Amino acid sequence: AQSVSQHNHHVILSEAASLELGCNYSYGGTVNLFWYVQYPGQHLQLLLKYFSGDPLVKGIKGFEAEFIKSKFSFNLRKPSVQWSDTAEYFCAVLMDTGRRALTFGSGTRLQVQP
Amino acid sequence: DGGITQSPKYLFRKEGQNVTLSCEQNLNHDAMYWYRQDPGQGLRLIYYSQIVNDFQKGDIAEGYSVSREKKESFPLTVTSAQKNPTAFYLCASSIKTGGINEQFFGPGTRLTVL
């Protein structure tokens, strides 16, 4: 069955540290890729997305992600995190299986210490 | 103000009772979705609907039912057959943009079964 894996379940960083969160999926067909963020007490909101074209995509708040098709990966990066980045981050994949719904990873809880 | 509303925010029910969670959107989106969020498991798809009067089971549909009589509404009923109903339930909607579903989420309903 198709799946999405986020191997980092809980990450603790100090402010100004660099961030990379891993996301891998198991599907050989065409995919569209998303990163969502859930700040404490807030709605789940879209951070960035990849549909086609340049595999390096930039999102809000200085986040970016790179789609590496050969590795089935879509890792999220930020060069310098802030305390306000403390949140839970979800990778999601839309696969061209005919089921028009996202498959989510299990999420990564990021805690940024001041 | 456009968006997705879910009510109530917190819901308590006794074991064995059915309960219906509301989801309304005024975004004129075609598709709507219900997810369940549990700690460490990400979001899992319960049901989704691409058009009015049609819906499909997701990955964990057992013990749940839905209806889609109106474009803007997609209520979810948690039945007594659902063995572990206590969870955070998220509703989402999307409009196809070039065939791609970008999903927008509501604030969620936290259901606790006592």
**pLDDT, tens digit (0-9, with 9 covering 90-100), for B15-25:** 889 999 999 99
Can you give the pLDDT at residue A34? 95
Give A100's contacts in chain B (Cβ within 8 Å): 31, 48, 50, 101
Over residues A38-67, the pLDDT tens digits come to: 999 888 999 999 988 999 999 999 999 999
Q: How far apart are CA A54 and CA A37, in angstroms?
A: 22
Q: Is the pLDDT of residue B1 over 60?
A: no
Can you give the pLDDT at residue A7? 87
Closest by CA position to A92, among listed B13, B45, B89, B62: B45
Q: What does the DSSP 8-state code read for residue B51?
A: S
- Residue B71 · residue B54 · CB < 8 Å: no
Question: Higher model confidence: residue B74 or residue A96?
Answer: B74
Q: What does the DSSP 8-state code read for residue A83?
A: G
Q: How far apart are CA A91 and CA A1, in angstroms?
A: 17
Q: How far apart are CA B95 and CA B28, in angstroms?
A: 8
Q: What is the mean pLDDT of residues A84-98?
A: 91
Residue of A nearest to B93 (CA): A101
> Sign of the C-alpha dihedral, residues A99, B108, A61, B96?
positive
Q: How far apart are CA B3 and CA B108, in angstroms?
A: 13
